[in-house]
Amino acid sequence: MFVSESVARAGLARPLGDLTSSPEFVSTPYLLIVRDGTAQATLEQLRLVKPRAEVVVTDTLSEARNRTPFVPRRIYELLDRVQMTGDDFTTIGVAINKAEGGGPSTALQVLGQALFNHDRLVGWMGADATIGWVEASHQPGHFIVEVPSPTGTISLRMVASRRRILVFRGGDGPLAQIDIDLRERVVGVSGGGSAWWSQPAALTQVEQMSADKVLRDVENSLVTAKAAGADPFALGQYVRVSDPGGWPHMETRWNREGLARLPVEVRVRAHVVNVGSLLCPSFGSCTEGSLKG
């Protein structure tokens, strides 16, 4: 389902609630926010697409899930999160992307992650901030992080992660701590050669640079979400569980005041668990010795 940005900013709970309560409405579509233009114009342009419009939309959603950090979400997830404070909805923004020359080769492009406060669109996250949100909120994804190396750029794909959120009661209110453990594999090395892997500290340096990059992304996502007044990390729910007696007094002010004032400490550790066929021998096992010479 396509909804224009202006309509989403006005609030979606009532129109979508009426729609989903209809006996004729039996599917659970993804909710896509149109960032450039109207939903009607987007649908009209999609009718010109080759192959069929539904194939292009399906391919766009698949691309978003498998090759980008952006996460499409379904309508019912919005309606579910509207019922609670401290766990806000997000989904992807899209726009028509015309290839050179226009015509029937028009395609659908993903343009950021939409941030909601209850049922209202309040802001957007770009790719880097979305990576931070994905890791901080433990969303599924296999996105790639690039870090510099002595010969160019190392591309690391996230293959697994563990995340823990703790909330403590401080003297001036709650404090949050986010611990993230990443497991990565090397999927690309640019700049020529892999001889630098023979240096004993090279792997540790790459892991630290990757951890630092994700740490900046998480901090970026927190700043962006706090400024918008959205809590896609479910931090409010962690605060509620840690202090059920005080939560009723904070709940109505959480998105306006509580989230913005919540100190969050972020710690990230990264481990390269597989350097792949790019750097391992063509035959035989990929051991520590093969990495360090």
Give the residue from 97, 125, 153 where a domain finishes. Answer: 125
Give the residue from 125, 153, 182 where a domain finishes. Answer: 125
Question: What's the CATH code of the domain at 146?
Answer: 3.30.300.210
Q: Give pLDDT, residue 103.
A: 53
178 and 274 inside one domain: yes
149 and 284 inside one domain: yes
217 and 178 inside one domain: yes
Over residues 77-87, the pLDDT tens digits come to 898 888 889 99
Q: Give pLDDT, residue 185.
A: 86
pLDDT by 10s per residue, the chain, length 293: 999 999 999 999 888 877 767 666 666 889 999 998 899 999 888 888 777 888 888 888 988 888 888 999 998 889 888 888 999 999 999 998 866 445 555 688 899 999 999 999 999 999 999 999 999 988 766 678 888 876 678 888 888 889 999 999 877 889 999 999 999 888 887 765 555 565 667 788 888 999 999 999 999 999 999 999 999 999 999 999 998 988 998 999 999 899 999 999 999 999 988 765 555 544 444 444 444 33
Over residues 142-183, the pLDDT tens digits come to 678 888 876 678 888 888 889 999 999 877 889 999 999 999
Helix, strand or coil, per DSSP, at residue 141? coil
Helix, strand or coil, per DSSP, at residue 46? helix
109 and 143 inside one domain: no
Q: Give pLDDT, residue 150.
A: 66
Of 125, 121, 123, 124, residue with least CA distance to 11: 121
278 and 134 inside one domain: yes
19 and 104 inside one domain: yes
Give the domain range for residue 225.
127-293
Buried b (16+ CB within 10 A) or exposed e, 215-225: bbbbbbbbebb
Q: Give pLDDT, residue 129.
A: 94
Q: Which two tokens stand for residue 268?
A: 């990230």
- Contact predicate 119/82, CB 8 Å: yes
Of 190, 31, 187, 194, residue with least CA distance to 119: 31
Q: Rounded CA gap, 53 and 48, in Å?
A: 8
Looking at the 3D structure of the chain, how many domains does it have? 2
31 and 146 inside one domain: no
113 and 251 inside one domain: no
Burial of 286 (0-12, 13-18, 19+ CB in 10 A): middle
150 and 274 inside one domain: yes
| CB-based contacts of 101, cutoff 8 Å, min separation 6 | none
Give the residue from 101, 125, 149 where a domain finishes. Answer: 125
69 and 165 inside one domain: no
101 and 160 inside one domain: no
Q: Give pLDDT, residue 110.
A: 92
Q: What is the pTM of this model?
A: 0.84
133 and 252 inside one domain: yes
